[in-house]
Amino acid sequence: MNWRSQYTAYLKAHTTLSDETIIQHVSRVASMAGWMFGQGEHKYSKGNVERIRLYGLPAAADNDTIREYFDHLAHKHSVDYRHHIKSALRCYYEKLKEMGAIREVPHAIISIPIRKNGFDKGRESQILNETNISDLREYFGNSGKITVLRDRLIFECLASLGIRKSELLLLRYSDFKADINQVHIRSTKTEGKSKYGGARVMPLSDDLADMVKKYCHVINANSLDDNVITIRDYRIWEIIKTAGEAVGIPWLHPHAFRHYCITKFSQLVGSDGATPIFSTAERSAMFGVSPEVIANTYDHPNTENIVSKALKSGVYSSVQ
């Protein structure tokens, strides 16, 4: 039995993790093994050959190696994803300790901080504007290559629908109803915990509907019930991060489009230039979050519009 099988068996016997999470944990430890191999396996094999053979290359990592690995991850993966990797590695080293392969769980795997770094700095305070969206749309371009079409579709879904990464990965071709300009969003984010969770409906533009239809045709999807985007969530983060760096938005991340989209819908006004088109309840239903979360987290006021809207509302009109 190789180390992957051992680790899988340990997780199944000693944790309540789902089968999918167990697969992810094993994959994340294997990723560290791949990184260590790339650094030169000989660096770690001295005196550890038998341990590596039985328990995998990460079994030979010391505190400095673990810190170096997380420094490497900081430039490639989001904070949440690095927390997932840390959890997987901690389970792995606890398993090694229980089996007698190591005396103690490396201190670094417990104490190493995972916080917002330079790459992420300012991402909560900076909001995408229309110029940013235009620059990104130009970056993703328009090509017949499947990967280019896929990445453009990922961008357009995030920017147009304001959905979460998990919701993007749940989208099926059958969810796009071009005849009635609707797209059905399914989410397990707050399912069963909040009245704002679960399935909902968003408006679908003709351009996005055409793009989904074209992508479906190019990849020759077998069924309308197939998922549209079939890559892992961390790859979406990498695609968006790379695009942001290319167009001068180093703080860009997938969730920034949710802030952009909710803010845009919050600021839409009617023909009088002052009255909001969508009520708070309607925005809650569209995006699957409570009014309090929209007000406190996602609705970023545009101070340039405040005076203009006040004047158009008639609140300062002279009383005759």
200-237 confidence digits (pLDDT tens)? 899 999 999 999 999 998 887 778 888 999 988 888 98
The domains of the chain, with CATH numbers, are: 3-111 (no CATH), 130-306 (1.10.443.10)
Choose between 208 and 267: higher pLDDT: 208
- Residues 109-131: what's their mean pLDDT? 65
Measure Cα distances from 273 to 171, 260, 311 in Å.
35, 20, 9
Which pTM does this prediction carry?
0.62
Q: What is the pLDDT of residues 38-78, one digit of tens each?
A: 988 788 888 788 888 888 899 989 999 999 998 888 867 77
CA angle 200, 208, 142 (to 5 degrees): 145
How far CA 156 is from CA of 94, 133, 257, 294, in Å, comes to 43, 10, 10, 22
Q: Establish how many alpha carbons lie within 13 A of residue 75's alpha carbon, considering only the half-sphere containing its beta carbon.
A: 4
- Sequence-distant (6+) residues with CB within 8 A of 284 are 196, 290, 291, 294
